[in-house]
Structure 1
Amino acid sequence: MTRNANFKRRVRARAAKTGESYTTALSHIRKSEPVDLARPVRSLRLAVAQTTTYDDPRDISQLRAAGVEIRRLMQASKQAGARLLHLPEGATCSPNKRIMSSTGRHPIGPSDWSRFEWAVQREELNAVRLLARELELWTVLGAVHQLSGTHRPYNCLYVISDSGELVTRYDERMLSNTKISFMYSPGTVPITFEVDAVRFGLSLGMEVNFPEIFREYEQMDVDCVLFSTTGGTVESDAAFAIEAQGHAASNRYWVSFATLAKGEAALSGIARPEGGWAARCNLPETPSIAVADIELNGDELARPWRRQARLGLYRPYQVEGDIRSDDRLAF
């Protein structure tokens, strides 16, 4: 990826306007913009993963296998030079509503969370934490967060630092009908964190369907939103991926889309601020990673322009009523 494409674009624009050669235009801009040239580029290599579906938290072997898989993907991310690994919703386990139902599979009832092997999940998460410290790799992964007493758990994303510390947790806020009726407590707040001066926001589950979640993070000055999901039907899987691209383009920031390895309808990937994929997993049903360099050089013009537009930029130019006729249907 070109590290200063916007600067080169300004050089070409000056050359076209003045008739100067590219070299001459470059010399003039270097003299007039020394501070701009010295501005450091913020950059971070991000890995996004797709993982196997594990949906029975009663099964210790599934929880162990999920942990092993996560740590293998962490090793692969480190080998690829990644600074941060982003994993899907339910990477440790995404409990099946019918397995958890206290009234049996039909009809579905409130989840019986006493069936969850919480101690085993904690052991696997601790192993992930220790490996994150060993690899010096930030790791964001989906899990179920147990609450005290009779409270339903949170469906969450844990953020583990490169020193192996649990630095924050995001709890899914916009729960599906099934999740809010039978399974989880809803979260209440957006969460951001920073790695190497790159600011991240977190989103989860079906929240890609709620533009206000992604708009809120734009207002919080994030550079990238990490969206984790298990997906759903084939149709919703494809729509989720497209919506993630749309949020990247409309908010002019990076979006990482992490989902389960289920098929070609949706593959984990990283969308650029223009909306196109910078990287995408290419093995539909195989746990794997894709890697891209997030680079931020401070020359983004569309994002501040859209902020101005939303704050009433057009009002002074609007015409009150039709100055030719009161009939709006007249030609």
Structure 2
Amino acid sequence: MTAQRNLKRRVRARAAKTGESYVAALRHFRPTPTGADMPDTTQTTLRIAVAQSTVRDDPTDADGLRASAAEVRQLMKDAADAGARLVHFTEGAICFPSKFVMSELGPDQVGPADWTKAQWAVIEEEQGQIAALAGELGIWVVIASVHRLPAPTLPYNSLYVVSDQGTVAARYDERTLSNTKITYMYSAGATPVTFEVDGYRFGLALGMDAHFPEVFTGYERLDVDGVLTSYESSGLPGRETVATEVRGYAAANSYWISLAVPANPSGPYAGVIGPRGGWAARCPADGMPAVAVTEIHREDTLSPLARDWRRRTRSRITY
């Protein structure tokens, strides 16, 4: 029996045992830095959607929270209607809490956040409805929200991964917090997070992560096919450069990046970037709430041997 036939037999055996599709089972035999079998080169594509949506900054406003969540659910339906298996939302999709609204010294002075003011019951109810709809539509959803921790510990700024079964499959907590976030508002996350959809592996980046190439190089070492990056792009000057930064990360690491940002006529606009740094799909430049849909594939990514060469070369660089 040839090595190729032996690999196919092993993949089919795993698929039969776990109930996974052939493509999903094949993923477990892809070569990694620790060494694994060479996979079948036949790959399918995966259709994903990225959204730009309205971002509100007052978590004490129950009506505003419900309006944001209703918009998210409509965009989920739009993505599902377009055949997407996954839809990715911006930082602050349900709410991006203002440092002034939350300040216990506010509203004119930044200070420690008083999270008791947030409408937690509404936030959690809307999260539950989003998860339930994901199950109904059979679509994966990556959605940002605040993750509450027992007082007095500050919450996390998080990305939730909701499976096509309507359950939370993973959660990523922002690691590279700004000075204001780390001082007054949030606890810092500690680890990278990956998850898989139909045999494609994704990493997650949130907020200030977008300004740190180390985050994206780290995901390359985890053998991802792409990184879903959620970023609240309005406010401080200079944030418009995020699209340029993440395009560079995509090209430097030869993987896909989905950039989800708020709906904003002045840009930047949400879109999906290919492994060579070019836009594969973008939301409308009018900045209105919308989704952009594209199919991702592995044809343009680095071969396993090229990835291994990059990793070995980086290990020899002295900084």
Please classify the TM superposition score into its range, dividing by the shorter chain length.
0.7 to 0.9
Greater Cα radius of gyration, structure 1 or 2: 1
Residue of structure 1 aligned with 2:293, choices 283, 291, 294: 291
Residues matched between the structures, number: 279
State the Cα deviation string for residues 201-257 of structure 1 (Å, max 9, x = none): 000001111111000000000001000011144752321011110100000000000
CA distance in 1, matches of 2:145, 2:302: 37
Aligned partner of 2:101 among 96, 99, 102: 99
Structure 1 pair 313–68 and aligned structure 2 pair: CA distance change class (3 A): closer
* Matches for 1:126-165 after TM superposition, within 5 Å: 126-165=128-167
CA contact (8 A) 1:139 1:161 kept: yes
What is the identity percentage for the equivalent residue pairs of Structure 1 and Structure 2?
46
Aligned to 1:209: 211
Worse-superposed segment, 99-108 or 216-225: 99-108
Counterpart code for 1:149: A
Q: Which segment drifts farther, 61-70 or 260-269?
A: 260-269
Gaps of 5+ in 2: 1-37
Match of 1:228 in 2: 230
The change in CA–CA distance for 1:310 and 1:195 in structure 2 (over 3 A counts) is closer
Distance in 1, matches of 2:45 and 2:306, equals 23
Contact 1:87 1:259 in 2 (8 A): yes
Candidates 56, 59, 76, aligned match of 2:58: 56
User: Are residues 243 and 312 of structure 1, via their aligned partners in 2, closer, same or farther at CA, if it must alter by over 3 Å?
Assistant: closer
- In structure 2, the residue corresponding to 1:42 is in which secondary structure? coil
- Partner of 1:29 in structure 2? none
Gaps of 5+ in 1: 1-35, 316-331
Residue 116 of structure 1, aligned match among 103, 118, 136:
118
Where does residue 311 of structure 1 map in the other structure? 312
1:76 matched to which residue of 2? 78
Query: Which position in structure 1 is the counterpart of 2:19?
Result: none
2:262 pairs with 1:260: yes
Q: CA deviation at 1:42?
A: 3.1
Instruction: Answer yes or no: is the 8 Å Cα contact 2:55–2:94 preserved in 1.
Output: no
- 8 Å contact from structure 1 (residues 42, 196) kept in 2: no
Task: Tell me the distance in 1 between the aligned counterparts of 2:58 and 2:235.
Answer: 19
- What are the superposed Cα offsets for residues 121-166 of structure 1, whole Å, 9 maximum, x if unpaired? 1111111111000000000011001111211000000000000010
Residue 5 of structure 1 corresponds to which residue in structure 2? none
Which residue in the other structure is 2:198 paired with?
196
Structure-2-length-normalised TM-score? 0.83
RMSD over aligned CA atoms reads 2.1
Tell me how far 1:285 sits from its aligned partner. 2.8
Measured in 2, the distance between the counterparts of 1:102 and 1:275 equals 43
